[in-house]
Each structure stands twice: as C-alpha cells, then as structure tokens.
Amino acid sequence: MNHRHIYPVCLLLIMAGCEQSMSLRVDSEIPTPVIARMPVTMGVLYRDDLRNYVYEENSDERPNWKIESGSSHIALFEQILGSMFEETIEVAGTTADTTADTTVDAVLAPSIAEMQFALPAETKSDFYEAWIKYDMELFNREGNPIANWSVTGYGKSSTEFMKSRDKGLNAAVNQALRDAGARFALGFHKVEAVGAWLEQVDSSGE
Amino acid sequence: MKILAVITLSVGLALLSGCKSTTVIDEYRETSVASIIGGEAIVVLGRRHSSSYETEDDFISCVGKSLKQGQSEINVIPEKDFVDSMYPYFETSTAPMDVRNLGKLAQIPVIADKFNDFNLRYFVWIDGATERTDSSGSVSCAVGPGGGGCFGFAYWKDEANYEASIWDFKQLALSGKINAETKGTSFMPAIIIPIPMLARVQENACKSLANQIKTFFSQQPG
C-alpha cells in the first residue's frame, strides 16, 4: 500500500470515531408474558404517529439524531396485549369517534408522549439510558372514553469495551420497552377506571 | 536492545508480584440447614435497581458458571432464560425485593407452575459492582515511517463489592447472606510494547463468591 493513502484513511477513521450524528433503527426483543388472560376482546388502535415514531434532534450536542422505533412499539403492544386478553383485534381509525366497533369490548389506543435518551458522556456515568412515556386511552365500543393514563419505562445499558454508542442506546431502549410492557401488563387492572370497567365486563359476562 | 529487554523483564517481574488481588468473604446464616436435594435448581439473579451502579451481566453469568463447575455441581438456571420466561414479573422494576413478596408471587397459578417446571429451590440475588477507585500514570504511543512504540507507566485500582442474598423458595425464608469484597491494583509498564499486568478483581470476586455459595449449600454449621 502506498504511504500516501495511509494518512487519508487514518483521518477518515478518526473522523468516524468523533462522529456525533446518529441514525438508529431500534431492534427490540420482548419475551412472551406469563400472565392470565382476561376474558375480553380488546380492539387496538395503532395510530400512524406511533407506527412511524421517529425521535429527531438536531442540536450542537446531538447533531442529526434520528432514532426510529415505531415498529418496536407495535411489536411490544402486539406481544403484551396478545397475552393479556382473550382476543385482540386491530381496529382502524384515528380519533375516538372512529374507534367505535361493536365486535370488541373496548378499544385501546397507545401513543407516545415522550422519549428521552442520555449518553454516558452527558451524565458522567457508565450508562446509556432511555425513557419512554406512553399515553394510554381506553374507549368503549361506542367510542366514548373509559380511562386514560400514562405508562413509563426506563432502561439502561452499561458501557463496555468495544460497545458502540448505537448498540448501547439500542440495549437501553430495549430495556425501557420491556419495562414499560411489564408496568402496563401488571398495572392495567390497577387503574381505577379500568378496574371498574373490568368488573362491569365480568358481571355482564356471568 | 538486549538491555531494554532485560529492563522490561525485570520491571515486569517486579510488578507481577504486586498485581495481586485480595478478597474478604463474610457469611451470615439465617437458617441452620441449606441444602440442595437432587434435581433441585437455583437461579442467580442480579439486582439492577440502583441508579449509580448496576450488577454486571457477566458477573452473574460468571457466578452461575462457577457454581456449575467442580465436584459439588449445582443445577443453575441461566439468568436471561429465567427472567425471559418469567416476564413481566422479574424485571428490574417488578422483581420481588423480599421473600414475603416472592411468597405472594408464588400464589399466582401461572407463576407457581413455572417455578415447579424449573424445580426451583433457591434464589440467589446478587447486588454490587466492580468500580475503579484510583488510576494514575500514562502511556504514550507513537507511529512514524521508521516504526512505532509506546513508553510510560500506568496503574489503576479496582474494588469489587458484592452481596449475595439466598432465599429458600420451599421455606419462603432468607437462608443467609454472603459478602465478597475484592481489591486489587493493575499495572501497565510500556517500553516499546505495553505489558498489562491485570489484577482480575471482578473475576476473583466471582470465583470467591461462587466457592462460598457452594460451601453454604454443602456445609452445615457445627
């Protein structure tokens, strides 16, 4: 190899190492939950803003950050809801009015309120961190609201030798998704209005 | 060149004797009997709820592997397999923090079935981390058309502190606690090439803790 070529290659490698922009597609892995199914046919409304969710930031500290996680949110809810309810049916629509569907007991519409990330250099810690906050809306089959509440998830991933920033952030987001899924699954019946509705469904089914 | 090699070797030998780690183990027994009957399994799990540190995955896996080795081989369920198969009950935010809550969890039929499938007897919860407490010195490397090399000296001190809480699932009681504290200093002299002499603090803490857990299950107090 000609020596003239070594220096540009080295320079490119150094520049790649210092590159702060990011384009990441989150790759998640959510296990099948072991929970007792509720005797409910649940409609699920995945709006486009959840399905195509992209975190974008363009600041001095985070130039051209783009983190695509839409498909991971859908995969999370498909996995969790499929284990929580007797049956889940995806419904079409965009607003409360259009969620009316007589083939289901209720319609659940998750949306993302906020996603946040932190890098080890920013927090002076040894962790990549991710937070997700979902807004959950539950409508009855006529499209009237039953309950709305928030579900949060937090995940962190330690910095390890040769672990890239993308891998570290992906692992933190995956943890946050798992955490949010766990909190949602175990906390669903504890939401006061949801608990009351479930009792109603139980008594009408007897 | 010959002199350099002799110097490197001498410095290396001198430091090699210094880069050792020391481990202190404390054991506390709550119950007089802690034994694993044939076929029963244990699971080693890491606590990760602290905001300032996280029990490392590789430490938990090291303890699990060490418990499986040797004469008194123990049936250990890998952490990831267990946590995934118990999802969502053993996530950082949902895992039971004490034996009483484990008892409540075991009353859920699907969970009880899973525990039975694993033939689970003991939960070993490990909380702690390995941290760098001090570092000094520097090693500089340079590359030129005629070749390259490094020169300098660096050292760092690591400290590992882990506590294992052993829960007896059959008795729904705390069986005991084992604490392992390991300290060590690593050196890296560099004369043309860097020669790392590592104290392997985390690895030694893992081996010591695993050995003590084995003793905990095999020995009855006198």
Residues of B with CB under 8 A from a CB of A: 48, 52, 54, 56, 84-89, 91-94, 108-111, 114, 145
Q: How many CB atoms lie within 10 A of CB A102?
A: 6
In chain A, residues with a C-beta closer than 8 Å to the C-beta of B89 are 34, 182, 186
Average confidence (pLDDT) over B143-153: 89
> A11 pLDDT exceeds 80?
no
Q: Is B93 within 8 Å of A154 when comparing Cβ atoms? A: yes
Domain that holds residue B31: 2-218
Cα(B58)–Cα(A153) distance, rounded to whole angstroms? Answer: 24
Helix (H, G, I), strand (E, B) or coil at A105: coil
Residue A150 scores a pLDDT above 90: yes
Would you call A149 helix, strand, or coil by DSSP?
A: strand
Tokens of A192: 């006061």
Do the strands A106-118 and A127-140 form a parallel or antiparallel pair, or are they unpaired?
Answer: antiparallel
In this structure, are residues A177 and A73 in contact, taking their beta carbons and an 8 Å threshold?
Answer: yes
Structural domain total, chain A: 1
**Residue A6, both tokens:** 């070594």
Nearest to A100 by CA among A43, A143, A44, A42: A143
Q: What are the beta bridge partners of residue B44?
A: B124
Helical H runs in chain A? 3-18, 48-51, 70-84, 120-123, 165-187, 192-205
Q: What is the pLDDT at residue B29?
A: 86
**Chain A: closest CA distance from residue B143 (Å):** 12
- Distance, CA of B147 to CA of B103 (rounded, Å): 66
The crossing angle, in degrees rounded to 10, of helices A165-187 and A70-84 is 30
In this complex, the residue of B56, B94, B114 whose CB is nearest that of residue A182 is: B94
Residue A2 pLDDT exceeds 60:
no
B75/B4: higher pLDDT = B75
Q: What is the pLDDT of residue B222?
A: 44
Mean pLDDT of all residues in A48-76 = 92
Q: Any idea what the Cα angle at residue B140 is, between residues B137 and B143, rounded to 5°?
A: 170
What mean pLDDT is predicted for residues B25-52?
A: 86
Question: CB A34 to CB B111 under 8 A?
Answer: yes
In this predicted structure, the answer to whether residue B217 has a pLDDT above a threshold of 80 is yes
DSSP A89: E
Closest to A121 (Cα-Cα) out of A74, A72, A159, A176 = A159
Q: Convert the pLDDT of each residue in B151-195 to its tens digit.
A: 999 999 999 999 999 999 998 999 999 999 999 999 999 998 988
The whole-number pLDDT of residue A101 equals: 66
Q: Structurally, how many domains does chain B consist of?
A: 1
Which two three-digit tokens encode residue A25? 């597609």
Query: Average pLDDT, whole number, for chain B?
Result: 88
The answer to whether the CB atoms of A182 and B145 lie below 8 A apart is: no
Of the pLDDT bands very low, low, confident and very high (cuts 50, 70, 90), residue B15 is low
Closest approach of chain B CAs to the CA of A168, in angstroms? 14
Cβ-proximal residues to A26 (8 Å cutoff; 6+ apart), any chain: A67, A68, A69, A71, A72, A170, A173, A174, A177
Q: Rounded mean pLDDT of B15-36?
A: 78
- Please give the pLDDT value at position A15: 47
- Name the residue of chain B whose CA is nearest to A181's CA: B88
Residue A190, pLDDT > 70, answer yes
**C-alpha–C-alpha distance, residues B135 and B71, integer Å:** 39
Name the residue among A110, A136, A139 with its Cα closest to residue A197. A139
What local confidence, expressed as pLDDT, does residue A124 receive?
A: 86
What local confidence, expressed as pLDDT, does residue A1 receive? Answer: 43
Closest CA to A101 of A48, A37, A44, A40: A44
Contacts with B10 (C-beta within 8 Å, 6 or more apart), sequence order: none
Note whether A182 contacts B114, CB cutoff 8 Å. Answer: no
Would you list the DSSP string of chain B?
-HHHHHHHHHHHHHHHTT--EEEEEEEEESSS-----TT-EEEEEE----SS----HHHHHHHHHHHHSSSS--EEE-HHHHHHHTTTTTSTTTS-SSHHHHHHHHTSHHHHHHHHHHTEEEEEEEEEEEEEEEEEEEEEEEEETTEEEEEEEEEEEEEEEEEEEEEETTTTEEEEEEEEEEEEEEEEEEEEEE--B---HHHHHHHHHHHHHHHHHHPPP-
- For residue A103, the enclosing domain spans 3-205
* Model pLDDT for residues A161-178, shown as the tens digit of each residue: 667 888 999 999 999 999
Q: Could B110 and A36 be called an inter-chain contact, meaning their C-beta atoms sit closer than 8 Å?
A: yes
B87 vs A contacts (CB less than 8 Å)? 30-34, 178, 182
Residue A176 touches chain B, beta carbons under 8 Å: no
Strand partners of residue A89: A43
Tell me the C-alpha distance between B144 and B155, whole Å: 27
Q: Which residue has the higher pLDDT, A82 or A13?
A: A82
Other CB atoms within a 10 A radius of the CB of residue A45 amount to 22
- Given an 8 Å threshold on Cβ–Cβ distance, is A31 in contact with B85? yes
The enclosing domain of A62 has a CATH number of 3.30.160.150
ipTM attached to this prediction: 0.84
B13 pLDDT above the threshold of 60: no
Measured between beta carbons, the chain A residues lying within 8 angstroms of B84 are: 31
Give the separation between CA A181 and CA A82, rounded to whole angstroms: 12
Instruction: Evaluate if residue B125 carries a pLDDT over 80.
Output: yes
Q: Are B160 and B205 in contact (CB under 8 A)?
A: yes
**Which of helix, strand or coil describes residue A164?**
coil
Which chain B residue's Cα is nearest to A155? B92
pLDDT digits (tens, 9 = 90+) for B57-107: 999 999 999 998 877 778 999 999 999 999 999 999 999 999 999 999 999
